[in-house]
């Protein structure tokens, strides 16, 4: 069995129909939640966003928000100075350039403040159902441990795109995120009985 097939089939046995753990009702809420999730757990973001979206339900509302008020709400998510700046600026751009709608193409998404490659790919995959692989810290770490070696997230994304069928990209993202979050953790991964012991490069060098 090819390595890519093994990775997909074993991960599918562990996680049935994986999906994004962020809670959102529309793509504006999704993009805000993904911005907040940098260096923060989805659980904490989900505890924070209800208040944010209740107070600022639309891009226009958030574009006109006072920064200190936004900081007060998002403080638990950390990096609140940068994140508040990004949320307000990206909302302004949505209003001014995109009619208040979250755009559905990569170049427009990364033109928004605080939106990088990973956030854009999550929005494309989760919000618009497009085939995209978002490489976050979990995807990067797990891929490298599984022998898909890369020096940076862009190289990792390109290697995953080559190895896996396009139709599986979004699902693969979730599978690797969940595997990294709950099994192949950065510190003390649960290696006992791991189905990837034969291909894992990390375990062998421990
Ligand atoms: S053996 Fe350990 S380090 Fe390797 S993939 Fe499994 S959990 Fe991760």
Task: Find out whether the beta carbon of 200 lies less than 6 Å from any atom of ligand 1.
Answer: yes
Q: Is 197 in the pocket of ligand 1 (CB under 6 A)?
A: yes
pTM as predicted: 0.89
Architecture category of domain 27-128 in CATH: Orthogonal Bundle (1.10)
Q: How far apart are CA 160 and CA 77, in angstroms?
A: 30
- Averaged pLDDT, 185-199: 93
Confidence label for 61 from pLDDT (cuts 50, 70 and 90) = very high
**Nearest Cα residue to 92 out of 123, 120, 60:** 60
What span, in angstroms and rounded, lies between the C-alpha atoms of 96 and 45? 27
- Catalytic, 131? Answer no
Sequence-ordered alpha helix ranges (H) in the chain? 3-14, 27-36, 42-55, 59-63, 67-74, 80-98, 106-110, 117-122, 128, 137-145, 153-163, 169-182, 201-205
Q: Choosing from 13, 92, 99, 136, which is the catalytic residue? A: 136
CATH placement of domain 3-17+133-205: 1.10.1670.10
Per-residue pLDDT of 69-95, as tens digits, reads 999 999 999 999 999 999 999 999 999
206 has pLDDT over 60: no
Give the other-Cβ count within 10 Å of 72's Cβ: 13
* 92: exposed, middle or buried (Cβ count in 10 Å: 0-12, 13-18, 19+): middle
Task: For residue 189, report the distance from its CA to the centre of ligand 1, in Å.
Answer: 6
Extents of the domains making up the chain: 3-17+133-205, 27-128
SS3 93: helix
End-to-end CA separation in angstroms for the chain: 26
Contact 74, 80 (CB under 8 A): yes
Sign of the alpha-carbon dihedral angle for 189, 191, 192, 196: positive
| Mean pLDDT for the stretch of residues 6-16 | 94
- Domains 3-17+133-205 and 27-128 agree in fold: no
């Amino acid at each position: 069995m090819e390595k890519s097939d093994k990775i997909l089939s074993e991960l599918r046995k562990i996680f049935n129909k994986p999906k994004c753990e962020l809670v959102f009702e529309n793509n504006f809420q999704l993009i805000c939640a993904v911005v907040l999730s940098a260096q923060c757990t989805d659980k904490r973001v989900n505890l924070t966003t209800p208040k944010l979206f209740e107070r600022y339900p639309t891009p226009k509302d958030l574009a006109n928000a006072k920064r200190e008020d936004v900081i007060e709400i998002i403080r638990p998510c950390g990096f609140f100075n940068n994140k508040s700046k990004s949320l307000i600026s990206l909302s302004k751009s949505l209003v001014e350039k995109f009619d208040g709608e979250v755009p559905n193409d990569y170049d427009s998404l990364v033109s928004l403040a605080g939106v990088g490659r990973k956030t854009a790919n999550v929005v494309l995959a989760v919000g618009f159902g497009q085939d995209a692989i978002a490489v976050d810290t979990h995807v990067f770490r797990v891929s490298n441990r599984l022998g898909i070696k890369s020096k940076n997230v862009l190289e990792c994304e390109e290697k995953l795109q080559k190895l896996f069928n396009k139709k599986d990209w979004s699902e693969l993202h979730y599978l690797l995120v969940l595997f990294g979050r709950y099994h192949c953790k950065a510190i003390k991964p649960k290696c006992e009985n791991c189905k990837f012991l034969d291909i894992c490069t990390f375990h062998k060098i421990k």
